[in-house]
A and B are shown apart, each in its own frame.
Chain A
Amino acid sequence: MVGRRRPGWLWVAAVGVYAFLYLPLAIVVILSFNDSLLNAEWVGFTTRWYVMLFEDRALLGAAANSLFIALVSATGATLLGTMAGLAMQRCRSGLLRGLPVLVFAPVAMPEILLGVSLLLFFRQVLDLTLGLLSILIAHVTFSIGFVAIVVRTSLAAMDESLFEAARDLGASAWQTFRHVTLPLIAPSVVAGFLMSFALSIDDFVITFFVAGVGVTTLPLQIYSMIKVAVSPEVNAVSTLLMALTLTLITVASRLAPAALRLRM
């Protein structure tokens, strides 16, 4: 398969990088079946760590929390982000010219800064008890930008004359939105939802700062497991999560191919 413009060494390098990407994770997967508490060497095959997982209430609870938080925050972020995307595309005058800065800054800044700012705000201004609400607000905040980017990109690629035609035919703003704009941007709204869902499920840094009593999320739970536990349960949960993301990505790539490319 070595083409004219594709020197062999390029593929050697590429395969090397793929190996770098996959070998460590392969080891995690293999050791999840290792019948040794310490995972220091291969002892024998077992599935008991997986059985243990399903009896680990703290972990299951964290997974349920994560799922719930992701669903709710992704819904919120999709609503607000879609609005922001529409607003950025449509209104480019006056005060709203500053909107893109407001939307993109949370995406661009190091996560820890958003985490500590929100912590300060919750504690000093709202005097909010850290917990479910603080996590939900934080997740919506960092996801809005991603949804807005996707929606705006798809709007920008559309033919403006469609909307004009609708208006010329006497459609109200709402009718134009409902029957022309919305169906057209629907795939990118779905992509935005999936993205914020994934971001929320995955977030560790910001959640670490704003989490409170009794609402441990999956990444937080994994973090404390990595720091303390000796058990290959961590490998088992990692393997399961990898399998799950693999499935989700496969499904998503069928449903909304745009989501994958835009994850960046």
Chain B
Amino acid sequence: MTDDQANRRPAGMAPRPGQWLVALPPTAFLLVFFAGPVLLLFAASFLAPGDFGGLAPVRQEGRWALTLDAYGFFFSDWIYAEIFLRSFVVAALTTVLCLVLGYPLALAIAQSPRRRRELLILLVVLPFASNFLIRTYAWIIVLGPMDLLYSPVAVIVGLVYVHLPFMILPLCINLEKHDPALLEAAQDLGAGVWTRFVRITLPLSMPGIRAGSALVFIPVLGMFAVPELLGGTRDILIGNLIKEQFLDNRDWPLGSTLSVLLTVAVLLLVGIAAWAGRPRESIS
């Protein structure tokens, strides 16, 4: 988004010493507290669990104690793959529902007069500003008497509710940039409301849809609190599985393996999405 502007700068400006001084602290911090831990997570997936929890020592009796046990455990059993698959279905369903609910609202906001737009967007942000646990709690109260609590429906409703603004805001940002002249021209050429939407608005809003979808889909995959609070006996997601290995089962290598596989899956998806949406002179 900002890259093209930045690229206008004259090329060949090598960083000067002062700039290294600026770059060093954040780089060092993130290397130690982000890159390091993520690599450790990867490494931990190849270790054995410790006797009481944590990890077994990397070197035992003078030998490297690396193992593929945790991966073997994952792939020997259809159960874990099934949870992955189910989580992806739940995440996809949540994304689609957010899109279906969010698009009309975003469109309505984008087409309202500019002065009112700020207020309408603020109205979307406001419920989003209270903690997601409170928003989940709201549904415990609403769904309890309706006999829907502890069901897959409750989980989906909760997930949609928690993530909806993530979809609406990028859509708004995209849709409000559309040039109304395009639609007017199409109308003058005799295109109906639906045709104008399908042929002009929708294709132009693809970058917004993609951004919104990524912002909903990826966080849902790692969610554990919503299924825990609203879900029934079968509603567990990858997030619950990972959390259980670390904070219940004390099987850190298996938890790490699940995390690594989740990362791989997310990266694959992001890669596919980026490939599908490679720059073709789009509005963003």
Physical contact A–B (CB less than 8 Å): yes
Indicate whether A169 reaches chain B with its CB closer than 8 angstroms: no
Chain A interface: which of B62-70, B74-82, B103-111, B148-156? B103-111
* Also in contact, A253 and B5, with CB within 8 A (given A80-B26, A120-B256): no
The smallest beta-carbon distance between A219 and chain B, in angstroms, is 5
| Interchain CB contact under 8 A, B125 and A25 | no
Residue of A nearest to B217 (CB): A110
Residue of A nearest to B220 (CB): A110
| Interchain CB contact under 8 A, B123 and A18 | yes
Indicate whether B183 reaches chain A with its CB closer than 8 angstroms: yes
27 cross-chain CB contacts under 8 A: A5-B180, A7-B193, A10-B104, A10-B107, A13-B108, A17-B105, A24-B135, A24-B141, A27-B138, A87-B26, A87-B27, A89-B6, A90-B19, A93-B14, A112-B222, A112-B259, A117-B41, A117-B259, A120-B37, A121-B40, A160-B9, A223-B225, A226-B136, A227-B229, A235-B141, A245-B126, A264-B215
List residues of A whose CB falls within 8 A of some B CB: 3, 5-7, 10-11, 13-14, 17-18, 20-25, 27-28, 31, 39-40, 79-81, 83-84, 86-87, 89-94, 96, 99, 102-103, 105-106, 108-114, 116-121, 123-125, 137-138, 140-141, 144, 148, 152-153, 156-157, 160, 173-174, 198, 202, 204-205, 209, 218-219, 222-223, 226-227, 234-235, 238, 241-242, 245-246, 249, 253, 260-261, 263-264
| Interchain CB contact under 8 A, B37 and A173 | no
Cα distance, A190 to B53, chains bound together (Å): 43
| Interchain CB contact under 8 A, A20 and B101 | yes
Select which of B25, B137, B183, B193 is within 8 A of A238 by beta carbon. Answer: B137
For the complex with contacts A96-B15, A96-B27, A111-B219, 9 further pairs of A-B residues with Cβ separation under 8 Å are A11-B108, A24-B141, A27-B142, A79-B25, A87-B22, A99-B27, A110-B239, A116-B41, A156-B2
| Interchain CB contact under 8 A, B30 and A102 | yes
* Also in contact, A205 and B55, with CB within 8 A (given A125-B40, A249-B129): no
The smallest beta-carbon distance between B250 and chain A, in angstroms, is 12
Cα distance, A27 to B138, chains bound together (Å): 7
Cα distance, A204 to B169, chains bound together (Å): 22
Cα distance, A11 to B107, chains bound together (Å): 9
Select which of A106, A116, A125 is within 8 A of B30 by beta carbon. Answer: A106
Residue of A nearest to B30 (CB): A102
Residue of A nearest to B58 (CB): A124
Binary per-residue interface labels of chain B (242-258) against chain A in the complex, 1 for a CB within 8 Å, 0 otherwise: 11001100001001100
Residue of A nearest to B27 (CB): A99
Indicate whether B72 reaches chain A with its CB closer than 8 angstroms: no
* Also in contact, A109 and B40, with CB within 8 A (given A10-B104, A118-B33): no
| Interchain CB contact under 8 A, B133 and A116 | no
Residue of A nearest to B132 (CB): A204
Chain B residues with CB under 8 A of A253: 122
Chain B residues with CB under 8 A of A110: 218-219, 221-222, 239, 262, 266
Secondary structure dominating the interface of B: helix
Cα distance, A246 to B239, chains bound together (Å): 31
| Interchain CB contact under 8 A, A117 and B105 | no
List residues of B whose CB falls within 8 A of some A CB: 1-2, 5-6, 8-9, 13-16, 18-20, 22-23, 25-27, 29-31, 33-38, 40-41, 44, 54-55, 101-102, 104-105, 107-109, 111-112, 121-127, 129-142, 145, 161, 164, 166, 169-170, 173, 180, 183, 187, 193, 215, 218-219, 221-225, 229, 239, 242-243, 246-247, 252, 255-256, 259, 262-263, 266, 270
Chain B residues with CB under 8 A of A261: 121, 173
Cα distance, A153 to B173, chains bound together (Å): 15
Select which of B112, B170, B242 is within 8 A of A264 by beta carbon. Answer: B170
| Interchain CB contact under 8 A, B108 and A14 | yes
Chain B residues with CB under 8 A of A123: 54
Chain A residues with CB under 8 A of B5: 156-157
Chain B residues with CB under 8 A of A204: 131-133, 225
| Interchain CB contact under 8 A, A205 and B225 | yes
Chain B residues with CB under 8 A of A79: 25
Chain B residues with CB under 8 A of A120: 37, 40-41, 44, 55, 252, 256
| Interchain CB contact under 8 A, A260 and B170 | no
The smallest beta-carbon distance between B184 and chain A, in angstroms, is 8
| Interchain CB contact under 8 A, A6 and B133 | no
Cα distance, A198 to B13, chains bound together (Å): 36
Select which of B102, B105, B126, B247 is within 8 A of A209 by beta carbon. Answer: B247
| Interchain CB contact under 8 A, B33 and A124 | no
